[in-house]
Amino acid sequence: MKKWLVRRVECVRGSMTLDVEIFPSFEYGTEAHETNFRKNIDISSSESKVATFHSKNVQLQLDMVIDNGDAKESNHLPTVSFHSVKKSGLHGEGLVARVTIHAGHAISFVLRDDIEHHNTKVITSAVLDMKQHDTLTFWRNFIAQSKYTGRWREIVERSLMILKMMTYEPTGAIIASPTFSIPEHLGGDRNWDYRYSWIRDSSFTVYILLRLGFKAEADAYMEFIMERFEHSRVSDYGLPIMFTIRGETEIPELTLDHLEGYRGSSPVRIGNGAAFHQQFDIYGELMDAVYLYNKYGKPVSYDVWCSVRRMLDYVLTILGEPDMSIWEVRNRKQRFTYSQIMLWVAFDRGIRLAEKRCLPCPNRAKWLEARDKLYDEIMEKGYNPEMKCFIQSYESNTALDASILIAPLVFFVAPCDPRFTNTLDRILLPPEKGGLTSTGLVYRYNTEISDDGVGGKEGAFSMCTFWLVEAMTRASVYEPKYLIEAVNIFENMLSFSNHLRMFSEEISGSGEQLGNTPQAFSHLGLISAAFNLDRVSHH
């Protein structure tokens, strides 16, 4: 696999002149670099290397490849000239290439590491054609594994490809997003770094990969998660909530004050302070992943089961404690309903796994007692009988939260249970009427009512909108009225992708993408919603 960044321009007819710019920035714009380039370009030369960019720790080179087509006369040959440019805020020069090409011509620029002994020292048109063929073959072979044949095949396959592109091949880790500090509200300070792998994503990821036929990817991801599970405990078998792509847990959050941020939205953050949070919901998501992997993938080993037992025995010791939960609040801990549901999931899946595999379970009675106690407590303290809906936390018992949509998806509550359908109906109301849905898009919670310690506004949450679709789809089996609306909301949500069919974390009121993009959670939610819509529609 080549670590090449390739940009290719072809002229179909007529002639065109364009400028190609390259302005590298090293160490987030803090490190100086030196730029060297060939001032006189001879397009007949076999040498493809035209420029280098060297910083203290990184050396890059730029190759240029020209395909003249059938051109013979010199006045129809492409022309290229380079000049260096210094931009404010950058600690080194960039390059601008003025290119003129004619019908049948193509020009490619390749950015790669500048090393002494390249396997491909000189890049030619034939080499690029071969690499393009290999790339297309790779993706065709990848997507050919998909078992999805439903009505939204194109967008589902695109989402699967995006998830694959967010996978770090050496370890199998899947990141939440490849970007950082893209704001959740323009000009606001909800700007986070998502270039890490969250345990929370595990159950959703494993379920999608296994059900749709991507066993090798599921195996690699679970190996990464299980390795962390067995060796990355922070205390008494408690787990960190996230990892780097290589499995490290030290992820300090830093602010890059010298950068103004995307469209003036500061601060620009790298690292993530949530890495040191207590978020107890992760034990439910991890146990759901283990259970699903045992069911649809490989039977878990005895050593993994021993780790499961130790972890669930640890979870017994934290019951009743508050945490920061799925939304990673930055102020006071609470007993969030979502976390309590996922703790119920943790014990439920542990008990199910023990029974299914007849595995030794010395503390089964304690797990069963904890599971049942959690259920009754959630129904008592996580539900507001006057509002007739589940609420955000035991402490914020009048605040609505879209994370409760997970309840029927993890089989905590029946999708037709009046407590849940009443909650569903309230979430479907517009914010001005106490709901969370506006123009078919779902907000996590009302930031004016729920103080999460960050402040400022945010957009509608893509994942929550897909969760709403799936919850309505499951409810429609018993209440058919929900199905048509679920399809309409889903189709409406699909219109908010960008031109590459990528979905960001959030959507603004004007329909603009907000937050880091593409986001794994959004695409996982999309695939699951489409999968369940098809399944219900066919019945």
Task: Identify the CATH number of the domain in which residue 322 sits.
Answer: 1.50.10.10
**8 A C-beta contact, residue 200 and residue 270:** no
Looking at the domain assignment, is residue 2 inside a domain? no
So what's the pLDDT on residue 235?
A: 63
User: Which of 101, 117, 142 is a domain's end point?
Assistant: 142
| Residue in 129, 1, 107 with CA at minimum distance from that of residue 63 | 107
Do 342 and 404 belong to one domain? yes
pLDDT at 231: 77
Q: Indicate if 164 and 86 belong to the same structural domain.
A: no
Q: Could you tell me if 176 and 320 lie in one domain?
A: yes
Asked if the model's pLDDT at residue 74 lies above 60, the reply is no
Same domain, 137 and 164: no
Per-residue pLDDT for 214 more than 80? yes
Provide the domain count of the chain.
Answer: 2
**Cα gap 458→439, rounded to integer Å:** 15
Residue 232 has what pLDDT?
65
> Residue 202: is its pLDDT beyond 90?
no
Say if residue 133 is in the same domain as residue 265. no
Q: Which residue has the tokens 């969760």?
A: 467
Question: Dihedral sign, CA of 322, 326, 332, 337?
Answer: negative
How far is the C-alpha of 222 from the C-alpha of 292, rounded, in Å?
A: 11
CA distance 16 to 371: 68
What average pLDDT score do residues 489-505 get? Answer: 97
- Give the range among 159-168, 267-276, 367-376, 384-393 with minimum mean pLDDT: 267-276
Same-domain pairing of 132 and 30: yes
Q: Which domain holds residue 449?
A: 157-538
Res 203: pLDDT: 86
**Of all residues in the chain, what percent carry a pLDDT higher than 70?**
97
pLDDT digits (tens, 9 = 90+) for 122-176: 999 999 999 999 999 999 999 999 999 999 999 999 999 999 999 999 999 999 9
Residue 121 sits at φ, ψ, to 5 deg, of -70, -45
Give the model's pLDDT for residue 465.
Answer: 99
Mean confidence (pLDDT) of the chain = 94
Regarding whether 359 and 224 lie in a shared domain, the answer is yes
Domain C-terminal end among 142, 165, 183: 142
CA-CA-CA-CA torsion sign (367, 373, 379, 383): negative
Pairing of strands 106-113, 5-10: antiparallel
Tell me whether residue 149 is in a domain.
Answer: no
Query: What distances in angstroms separate CA 228 from CA 180, 286, 319, 462, one per listed residue?
Result: 24, 11, 23, 28
Pseudo-torsion of CA 369, 333, 452, 258, nearest 10°?
Answer: -130
Residues 415-474 have pLDDT tens digits of 999 999 999 999 999 999 999 999 999 999 998 888 888 888 899 999 999 999 999 999
More confident residue, 485 or 70: 485
Predicted local confidence at residue 127, as pLDDT: 94
pLDDT of residue 503: 98
Per-residue pLDDT, 236: 67
- Pick 111 or 202 by higher pLDDT: 111
413: pLDDT strictly greater than 90: yes
User: Per-residue pLDDT for 72 more than 70?
Assistant: no
Q: Are residues 184 and 108 in the same domain?
A: no
In this predicted structure, the answer to whether residue 237 has a pLDDT above a threshold of 90 is no
Q: Which of 142, 169, 196 is the last residue of a domain?
A: 142
Instruction: Pick 234 or 116 by higher pLDDT.
Output: 116
1 has pLDDT over 70? no
pLDDT value at 26 more than 60: yes
| Confidence grade of residue 181 (pLDDT, cut at 50, 70, 90) | very high
pLDDT in tens, 388-405: 999 999 999 999 999 999
What separation in angstroms does the CA of 427 have from each of 108, 210, 403, 468? 51, 31, 11, 9
Segment 42-67 shows an average pLDDT of 90
Gap between the Cα atoms of 199 and 286, Å rounded: 7
Residue 98 lies in a domain: yes
Verify that 116 and 169 share a domain, yes or no: no
150 domain residue, yes or no: no
Residue 152 lies in a domain: no
* 15 assigned to some structural domain: yes
The answer to the question of residue 1 being in a domain is no
Looking at the fold, whether 101 and 166 belong to one and the same domain comes out as no
168 & 129 share domain = no
For residue 73, what pLDDT is reported?
55
Inside any domain, residue 461: yes
Shared-domain flag, residues 124 and 195: no
- The pLDDT of residue 538: 77
